[in-house]
Amino acid sequence: MKYVKKFEKFISEATITASPAPATKPTTNPPTTEPKKPVEPGKEKIKRPIKDPEPKALQPRLAKKVTEMDVAKRFIDEVNAKGESVKKYLNK
């Protein structure tokens, strides 16, 4: 008998919970704008320049002509800075 009572109680509770709840309107208004994703530091969008820069070889400050004497003078300065003799690099 006690099983029958438990079964009847179970059935009555199931019918009460199965009935739909009364529909109510939401009390808050939905947001009108979409939330933006947070941007991680260091991952901002890369902006492209409006105008492509010239190659470095064509830039005026680097377009200076280098002569053989400039190269020789630089070589002698570098060897002297190391404390070596220039004579060991000369062909005899």
pLDDT tens for each residue of 14-65: 666 666 666 776 677 776 777 777 777 777 677 776 777 666 666 666 557 7
- For residue 81, what pLDDT is reported? 93
15-38 in b/e form (b: 16+ CB < 10 A) is eeeeeeeeeeeeeeeeeeeeeeee
Q: Are 62 and 54 in contact (CB under 8 A)?
A: no
- 75 part of a folded domain: yes
Our count of domains for the chain comes to: 1
* Per-residue pLDDT, 11: 81
CA distance 63 to 27: 72
21 within a domain of the structure (yes/no): no
User: What is the pLDDT, as a whole number, of residue 57?
Assistant: 64
Residue ranges making up the domain that contains 80: 57-92
Answer yes or no: is 51 within a domain: no
The predicted pLDDT at position 56 comes to 66
Find out whether 12 and 19 touch, Cβ atoms under 8 Å. Answer: no
DSSP state for residue 19 in the 8-state scheme = S
pTM of the model: 0.32
Question: What pLDDT does residue 26 have?
Answer: 65
CA distances from 90 to 30, 69, 72, 76, 85 (A): 85, 16, 12, 11, 10
